[in-house]
């Protein structure tokens, strides 16, 4: 694989947009990314669109609005990992030399879908009453049982991410909340309260990937891709260990190996905090702290901006919001802004290496159906 760079980024503010079409959201993100890269639409040679909830041929419907037509366009559905998977596809295409320049788009509209993501009817656990917050809640309960993790430690993750979201003009929620407010908000699935669950919302994000030749047009602007991975869940009838993500651990190890580094090298990480317990377990999965010590890691403020690794400086899914297909791409947008030093009030000083991580599609027997861990650096 040859070197691949992110040479342009853009996104909409995430939120509830009942009056906007998917095309409106996608167009705004694509135009912002094209302008950021100072590219004409005619220079884009391929497009990859991650989405779950927006009907067929979403990529073509959006890209034709910005003058990107008559090229290879691929639509990717991979639940919460859709955007990251689209990125991986674009990386492969540019990395192997097939194209010099590709656009990656993530978009979704969740508002109006009722709050809970419905199960596939073929999914036995779904029919028997499993909800996604419920699955994470069972993980939380087991983590508390095995490692003594506390309700307060879980709630602190929500407090941190909401505090970060206040500093992010693209976040759906830009409002702080106290520990007491998190703990006393409405119960969704015990022990997870409403403020420990990501909101329902809409939005889009876009990236332009380029070869080294393309990156030289504006070298200070370009951020190098150090590692990309996408993995499916592994069959596990007998050992659905809810307190860890086997595939996330595997993907993280693959990413560290590709990059030639380890968890200690990561300055910022945008990870999958669809629920507070998710972020806590991912501290452990990604190697930021030993197994079972995620609660202490947040309590000792090691994941704050200014801590050992700034986790979800954007506000994460909890505060920036979680339009499924858009999430993975929005994580890259945030990491690129951070590594360029363009993240405004939430800037992590001196950030040089950033990670993104998504996981999604809870499915009987394989747990999360997909996950992705990636590293960017300058």
Partner 1 sequence: MNQIAKEKIPIRAGLIRVDANGRLILLGTHCPRCGKTFFPKKSICPSCFVDEPLEVVELQGKGKVYSFTIIHQGPKGFKTPYATLYVDMPEGVRIFGPGFLEDFPKGFEIGMEVKVESTTLDVNGEGIPIMGFKFIPKE
The binding site for partner 1 (CB under 8 A) comprises: 115-116, 118-119, 121, 124-125, 127-131, 133-134, 137-142, 145, 186-192, 235, 237-240, 242, 364
Choice among 143, 162, 282, 322 that is catalytic: 322
Choice among 30, 80, 198, 269 that is catalytic: 80
Q: Where are the beta strands (DSSP E) in the chain?
A: 4-11, 46-50, 72-76, 101-109, 187-189, 192-193, 202-211, 223-227, 231-232, 268-270, 310-311, 353-363, 367-377
Q: Rounded to an integer, what distance in angstroms lies between the CA atom of residue 255 and that of residue 245?
A: 15
Closer by beta carbon to partner 1, 96 or else 127: 127
- Put residue 12 in one of left, alpha, beta given phi > 0 → left and psi -120 to 50 → alpha: beta
Q: Rounded to an integer, what distance in angstroms lies between the CA atom of residue 354 and that of residue 376?
A: 5
In angstroms, what is the minimal distance from the CB of 367 to partner 1?
11
Burial label, 240 (beta-carbon count in 10 A; 0-12, 13-18, 19+): middle
Q: Rounded to an integer, what distance in angstroms lies between the CA atom of residue 293 and that of residue 148?
A: 9
CB atoms under 10 Å from CB of 128, counted, come to 9
Closer by beta carbon to partner 1, 1 or else 187: 187
In angstroms, what is the minimal distance from the CB of 161 to partner 1?
21
In angstroms, what is the minimal distance from the CB of 218 to partner 1?
47
Closer by beta carbon to partner 1, 149 or else 347: 149
Closer by beta carbon to partner 1, 17 or else 111: 111
- Joined tokens for residue 305: 């901006």
In angstroms, what is the minimal distance from the CB of 51 to partner 1?
23
Please say if 322 is a catalytic residue: yes
Pick from 201, 206, 205, 204: which is nearest to 321 by CA? 201
- Please identify every residue annotated as catalytic: 80, 322
């Amino acid at each position: 694989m040859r070197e691949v760079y992110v040479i342009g980024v853009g996104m909409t503010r995430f939120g509830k947009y009942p009056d906007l079409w998917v095309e409106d959201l996608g167009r705004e993100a694509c135009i912002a990314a094209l302008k950021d890269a100072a590219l004409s639409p005619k220079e884009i040679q391929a497009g990859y669109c991650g989405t779950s909830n927006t009907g067929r041929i979403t990529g073509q419907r959006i890209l034709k609005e910005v003058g990107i037509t008559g090229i290879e366009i691929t639509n990717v559905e991979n639940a919460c990992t859709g955007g990251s998977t689209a990125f991986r596809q674009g990386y492969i295409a540019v990395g192997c030399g097939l194209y010099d320049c590709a656009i990656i788009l993530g978009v979704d509209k969740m508002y109006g879908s009722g709050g809970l993501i419905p199960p596939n009817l073929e999914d036995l656990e779904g029919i028997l009453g499993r909800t996604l917050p419920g699955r994470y809640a069972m993980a939380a309960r087991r983590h508390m049982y095995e490692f003594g993790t506390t309700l307060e430690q879980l709630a602190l993750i929500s407090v941190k991410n909401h505090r970060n979201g206040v500093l992010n003009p693209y976040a759906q929620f830009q409002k702080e909340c106290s520990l007491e407010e998190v703990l006393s908000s409405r119960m969704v699935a015990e022990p997870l309260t409403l403020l420990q669950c990501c909101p329902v919302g809409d939005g889009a994000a876009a990236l332009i990937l380029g070869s080294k030749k393309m990156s030289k047009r504006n070298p200070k602007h370009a951020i190098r891709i150090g590692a990309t991975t996408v993995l499916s869940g592994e069959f596990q009838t007998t050992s659905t260990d809810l307190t860890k993500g086997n595939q996330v651990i595997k993907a993280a190890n693959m990413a560290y190996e590709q990059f030639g580094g380890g968890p200690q090298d990561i300055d910022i990480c945008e990870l999958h905090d669809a629920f507070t317990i998710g972020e806590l377990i991912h501290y452990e999965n990604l190697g930021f702290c030993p197994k079972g010590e995620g609660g202490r890691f947040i309590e000792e403020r090691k994941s704050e901006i200014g801590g050992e690794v700034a986790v979800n400086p954007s506000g994460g899914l909890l505060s920036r919001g979680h339009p499924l297909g858009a999430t993975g791409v929005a994580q890259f947008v945030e990491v690129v802004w951070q590594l360029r030093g363009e993240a405004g009030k939430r800037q992590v000083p001196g950030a040089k290496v950033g990670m993104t991580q998504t996981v999604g599609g809870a499915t009987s027997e394989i747990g999360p159906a997909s996950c992705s861990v990636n590293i960017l650096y300058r």
